[in-house]
């Protein structure tokens, strides 16, 4: 446990900080209460009581804002309910409080690594907002179209289900409303808005049933005794014919003044909805065109790199007695050209980096060859450094610190300015209790990279070891 006053490490059994003398009894009670709320939220989340879990987890982070487990779970629940922005906000805050070994970073990377899915989630939010505007303007049909599209883009968007059900309830389409409310209830079984709408819908159904029963009762009620009237001979009734003519005239007037304008207005709404969908289609086409332009530009850049390499090779003037020193460079250029034909994710940067490192630069006397070797290193080494860093970080997270040091050292070899690799070299040595080496790497981060995001942590750990 860490003292809230001075930040020193304290045993969980101590009730008072040995360094600053702060009373920790109340602080420990607050931490226990925060953990209890987290456990309650976790239990509710397991049975899909997401609304109840949100209340418990909010209480947990209010008591202890550093409770990253509660904050990460709160973000997962928001994401499950379709609230992408709220989920990312919680994960970013969690990563800010604990940047090391925090699963929130993995959640953020998973969301951001799929641009298509992230764009769909953003489009779903935009369409929900458009539906709200259409609802306020009284254009319920357009709002329903937008909400259906939002649900297609994000099938777990609870607020979209609720608003769509509300619009169907307004239009007395109760079966459709019930179907969407049931889908919302499957995601969050105790959502108060969903339950309130379902209760409201039941109260609308009951009067309809009662009225139907009353109509049937009225139809079945027939007087048992019919009054006897005196016989009269029927006379021609001209009023019936007059009433018929008046009814026809009224029907034509109603058709002209009410039905026809309504049909035209509905047609305008349909045309407007087609226009909206057509606009969305134009946006998708423009996005695809932008992707094509970007890929074309990347392809042109690769072609220029290939042409430059070929030109540099053709300009080589190699001494006859030292061709053996240039053969590895030629072989690597051929390998590099083959790798450029592949997508970036399929290129073997680690293998290329090893072969590139085996080329003896001091044996190359031709300046063009040295320049070519330098440009190839600039292309390959940073990518290889990132891959070694990722592998080293994976070993570090699994507490395999010896293996992590091997990978991180390779990352620094290929890119000496890889500050993340330098920092985790210090962390790995720190975990292995080789404090002198850890201080060395912490000091590199502090003195040479004061603007990096690792600066504050490196300084804190270095001060702890030196203190």
For residues 70 and 197, state if they share a domain: no
Question: Domain boundary at 113, 148, 178, which?
Answer: 113
pLDDT of residue 273: 45
**Residue at 433 is within a domain:** yes
**Residue at 301 is within a domain:** no
For residues 143 and 85, state if they share a domain: no
Q: Which residues of 239-249 are buried (b: 16+ CB within 10 A; e: fewer)?
A: eeeeeeeeeee
- Structural domain including 90 reads 25-113
Structure tokens at 143: 């709002």
pLDDT of residue 276: 42
Nearest to 123 by CA among 300, 351, 346, 276: 276
3-state secondary structure of 10: coil
For residues 205 and 343, state if they share a domain: no
For residues 101 and 125, state if they share a domain: no
pLDDT tens digit sequence for 62-120:
888 888 888 889 989 888 888 888 888 888 888 888 877 788 888 888 887 887 887 88
For residues 324 and 378, state if they share a domain: yes
For residues 394 and 410, state if they share a domain: yes
For residues 195 and 327, state if they share a domain: no
pLDDT of residue 220: 46
pLDDT of residue 240: 53
pLDDT tens digit sequence for 109-140:
888 788 788 788 888 888 888 888 888 888 88
The number of distinct structural domains making up the chain is 3
pLDDT of residue 211: 52
**Residue at 9 is within a domain:** no
CA distances (Å), origin 21, targets 10, 24, 64, 263, 438: 11, 9, 21, 80, 31
For residues 66 and 102, state if they share a domain: yes
pLDDT of residue 409: 93
pLDDT of residue 298: 67
For residues 341 and 437, state if they share a domain: yes
Rounded to the nearest 10 degrees, the angle between the axes of helix 327-340 and helix 260-314 is 170
**Residue at 374 is within a domain:** yes
pLDDT of residue 411: 92
Q: Report, as ranges of residue numbers, the positions in the chain whose pLDDT lies below 50.
A: 215, 217-237, 241, 270, 272-280, 317-321
């Amino acid at each position: 446990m860490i003292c809230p006053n001075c930040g020193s490490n304290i045993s969980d059994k101590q009730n008072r900080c040995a360094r600053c003398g702060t009373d920790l009894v109340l602080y420990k009670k607050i931490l226990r209460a925060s953990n209890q709320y987290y456990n309650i939220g976790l239990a509710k989340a397991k049975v899909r009581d997401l609304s109840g879990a949100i209340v418990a987890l909010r209480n947990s982070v209010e008591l202890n804002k550093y409770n990253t487990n509660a904050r990460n779970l709160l973000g997962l629940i928001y994401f499950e309910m379709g609230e992408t922005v709220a989920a990312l906000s919680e994960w970013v805050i969690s990563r800010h409080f604990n940047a090391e070994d925090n699963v929130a970073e993995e959640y953020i990377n998973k969301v951001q690594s799929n641009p298509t899915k992230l764009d769909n989630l953003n489009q779903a939010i935009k369409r929900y907002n458009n539906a709200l505007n259409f609802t306020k303007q009284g254009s319920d049909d357009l709002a329903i179209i937008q909400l259906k599209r939002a649900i297609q883009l994000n099938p777990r968007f609870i607020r979209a289900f609720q608003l769509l059900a509300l619009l169907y309830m307004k239009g007395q389409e109760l079966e459709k409303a019930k179907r969407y409310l049931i889908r919302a209830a499957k995601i969050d079984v105790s959502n108060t808005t969903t339950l309130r709408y379902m209760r409201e819908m039941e109260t609308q159904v009951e009067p309809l049933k009662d009225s139907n029963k009353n109509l049937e009762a009225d139809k079945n009620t027939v007087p048992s005794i019919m009054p006897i009237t005196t016989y009269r001979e029927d006379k021609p009734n001209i009023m019936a014919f007059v009433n018929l003519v008046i009814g026809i005239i009224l029907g034509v007037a109603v058709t002209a003044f009410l039905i026809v304008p309504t049909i035209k207005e509905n047609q305008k709404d349909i045309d407007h909805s087609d226009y909206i969908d057509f606009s969305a289609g134009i946006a998708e086409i423009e996005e695809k065109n932008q992707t094509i332009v970007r890929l074309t530009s990347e392809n042109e850049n690769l072609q220029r790199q290939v042409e430059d390499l070929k030109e540099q090779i053709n300009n080589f003037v190699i001494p006859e007695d030292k061709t053996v020193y240039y053969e590895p460079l030629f072989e690597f250029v051929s390998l590099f050209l083959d790798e450029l034909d592949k997508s970036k994710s399929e290129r073997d940067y680690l293998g290329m980096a090893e072969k590139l490192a085996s080329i003896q630069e001091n044996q190359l006397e031709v300046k063009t060859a040295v320049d070519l070797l330098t440009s190839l290193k600039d292309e390959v080494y940073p990518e290889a450094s990132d891959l070694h860093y990722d592998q080293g970080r994976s070993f570090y997270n699994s507490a395999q610190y010896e293996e992590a040091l091997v990978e991180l050292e390779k990352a620094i070899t290929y890119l000496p300015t890889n500050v993340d690799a330098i920092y985790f070299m210090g962390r790995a040595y720190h975990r292995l209790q080789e404090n002198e080496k850890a201080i060395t790497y912490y000091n590199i981060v502090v003195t040479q990279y004061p603007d990096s995001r690792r600066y504050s942590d490196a300084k804190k750990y270095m001060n702890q070891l030196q203190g």
